Amino acid sequence: MSAVLYERNGSCAIIRVNHPPVNVLSHAVRAGIVGMLERAIADPKVDGIVLAATGRTFIAGADITEFNKPASFSEPTIWNVIKAVEDCRKPVVAAIHGTALGGGLEIAMACHARVAVASAKVGLPEVQLGILPGAGGTQRTPRLTGPEFAIDFITKGNPITAHDALKVGLVDEIVDDLILGAVARAEAITNGPLPTKVIDRQDRVSGYDADFFRTAKTKVAAISRGAEAPLAIIECIKAACTLPPLEGLAFEKAEVQRLLAGQDHAALKHYFFAEREARKIDSIPEAAQPVRKIAVIGAGTMGSGIAMACANAGFPVSLIDIDEANLSRGRASIDKNYAVSVSRGSSSQAKVDAAIALIEYQVGYGKLQGVDLVIEAVYEDLELKKRVFAQLDAAADPDAILATNTSSLDIDAIARATNRPEKVVGMHFFAPANVMRLLENVRGSLVAPETVAVAMAVGRALGKVTVLAGNCDGFIGNRMVRFYMDTADFLLEAGISPGRIDKVATDFGMPIGPLTMWDMVGLDTGVLLRKPRRAAAVPGDRMSPILERMVAAGRLGQKVGRGFYAYDGREKRVDPEALALIADVVRERGAEPMELSDEDIRDRLFMPLVNEGANELLDGTALRAGDIDVVWVNGYGFPAHKGGPMWWGHSVGLDRIVALAARLAQENGPRWAPSPLLLDRSRSAW
């Protein structure tokens, strides 16, 4: 099958990229476009050209698998394609449906006009691959939209709708019939002179001084967590505004080549494929039993968020609580959340109304008929969950699947409380469940593959990044996070201040540091979570008393204005009282303060994650190292440009992970010892 098709529609040539699944710009496509353009130019009966695509989308960008390989440099390159389009003496109109992304949008911007159907989206997501739109995207976008919009659009990388693209000037027209609309546009252009090439337009990029770009860089640096590409993008847009077009393009090309050779790109490319790989589970059927209606049990923060996530994805959902007052509170918080999303412009009134209409509120488990999936989100207590599951088992249809949102409890114990253990699965959402992208599904030993298939399919339908974990205390993410949080306490005991520990974590790229995180979660919650672990600790397994001491002093965290820091609202400041309390614990321990560099602190915070991740690979809790990375990037804010903990671990060297683990085992106990997977050099190359 040819990667690019050619046909005639009156005096227009229709060139269609035909390269499933998403029409990426592989070499065959690039060569095909150039070849078909030559054919159209040579055809005396052709006056105008439409560039379109078959299947579910317009061109979704460069072929990421070709990056840094000879195929991406072999001619015609994407730059050759763009030149051929832009220099074409017959007008070329891009006809966009699905998503015009990256190189796809860059080619569209080189066309003489762009039309799109209303459902289309356009975007330059290269920043999410640690690079920039290096085929003229940083040069042509500001020429169409002005640099303010271009900076926001390209440094974030999120696609926008066709209507928004029309507003900012990225597309020229929204049409009902794509090909007819594009042909009409091409014919209209052929009646006059060819429009000025986008790259030659100067009106939107004049008059911006160095201060404008300095301010933009400061703003973007504050949110890009140390990633390189966003700042390089601003430099390129500055070049578009200050240099002649050819020099701007050359500057951009050099920058993209620099980024392509960098570590951020390698990590983000790994992450891109890891996210897609995570969906692939060998041992489950491809087709899943359909889910038409969902019930969520428990109208607390978690249950309400899950109900919203379901309704937002178009599922009719019953939010159920046994307590009427709880249910009313849940309903009020859902209504408030939706109102806020409309007032902030993150959702439209119509969308919100549609979602609200899908949620019904119910007291008690009386009416579960017709529900295909029940998601339990009650208080995190095993005995309570077992009781709830026994009741759900009695009330739900025999075929219904029962899922628990537990974040750490034993799925098998919960399944055994029912007469349908093969239909019980973990679906661990992260709070707030309507916002967070991650869903960690958990497979116990009693569950049927068909049930797991449903949980994975529902995750995808909810628009979640969905990973499958094995059943153990804490699953993939929370099992590892304990090492991170425990380390923060040990560092305090070693005489390192909360501010310094948090700063090392945020300098590494975490959104907040571990002690700020404790303050947000609530130190009392931390103490509760640690209770069973303290009870089960093996001899020699050290645990810090700092959390307990803070709680005993009434320092419960942000909610009471005092934790590791003091708070005025959300503003935090160093609190001498907290420091004095920590100093007491250090004194009582009698250990000498440790001399640790920032790099030592960083290693102590993050290397144990890699070690425990290796243990998870060994015992099958995680199927792939990439799955662990996906969980950590989406659930805990691990910087995506470092690829996730397992990718990062490889990049710093597994020998260093082993050496530190051996040392930490001496300091803290056997739980910290090097993973056998890391010690077995023949198996540790994940």
Q: Minimum CB separation from ligand 3HC for residue 275, in Å? A: 8
The reply to whether 259 sits near ligand 3HC by the rule CB under 6 A is: no
Region of 61-69, 227-235, 263-271, 353-361 interacting with ligand 3HC (CB under 6 A): 61-69
User: Residue 628's closest CA among 613, 649, 606?
Assistant: 613
The reply to whether 255 sits near ligand 3HC by the rule CB under 6 A is: no
* Tokens describing residue 623: 């199927």
* CB closer to ligand 3HC out of 2 and 65: 65
The CA-to-CA distance between both ends of the chain, in Å, stands at 36
The reply to whether 496 sits near ligand 3HC by the rule CB under 6 A is: no
* Axis crossing angle, helix 598-619 with helix 645-652, rounded to the nearest 10: 120
For every residue of 235-276, DSSP letters joined together read HHHHHHHHS-HHHHHHHHHHHHHHHHTSHHHHHHHHHHHHHH
Q: Minimum CB separation from ligand 3HC for residue 165, in Å? A: 15
d(CA 246, CA 19): 31
Q: Which residues are catalytic?
A: 106, 126
The reply to whether 134 sits near ligand 3HC by the rule CB under 6 A is: yes
* CB closer to ligand 3HC out of 139 and 304: 139
* CB closer to ligand 3HC out of 85 and 317: 85
Q: Minimum CB separation from ligand 3HC for residue 103, in Å? A: 3
Select the residue interacting with ligand 3HC from 57, 138, 312, 405 (CB under 6 A): 57
Q: How far lies 236's CA from each of 229, 417, 530, 617, in Å? A: 10, 60, 50, 42
The reply to whether 137 sits near ligand 3HC by the rule CB under 6 A is: yes
* CB closer to ligand 3HC out of 129 and 294: 129
Q: How far lies 191's CA from each of 114, 186, 188, 195, 374, in Å? A: 17, 9, 5, 11, 61
Q: In the range 86-125, which residues lie near ligand 3HC by CB under 6 A?
A: 99, 101-103, 106, 125
* CB closer to ligand 3HC out of 22 and 485: 22
Residues 447/420, Cβ–Cβ less than 8 Å: no
Give one word for 378, left, alpha or beta, with left for phi > 0 and alpha for psi -120 to 50.
beta
Taking residues 21 to 50 in sequence order and writing x for each that binds ligand 3HC by CB under 6 A, - otherwise, the string is xx-x--------------------------
List alpha helices for 364-448, DSSP H: 382-395, 411-415
User: Residue 627's closest CA among 500, 362, 386, 438?
Assistant: 438
* Tokens describing residue 125: 């997501």
The reply to whether 60 sits near ligand 3HC by the rule CB under 6 A is: yes
d(CA 141, CA 147): 8
Taking residues 272 to 311 in sequence order and writing x for each that binds ligand 3HC by CB under 6 A, - otherwise, the string is ----x-----------------------------------
* CB closer to ligand 3HC out of 74 and 445: 74
Q: Minimum CB separation from ligand 3HC for residue 57, in Å? A: 6
Q: Minimum CB separation from ligand 3HC for residue 159, in Å? A: 8
3-class SS string, 520-548: HHCHHHHHHHHHHHHHHCCCCCCCCCHHH
Residues contributing to the site for ligand 3HC (CB under 6 A): 21-22, 24, 57, 60-65, 78, 99, 101-103, 106, 125-126, 129, 133-135, 137, 276
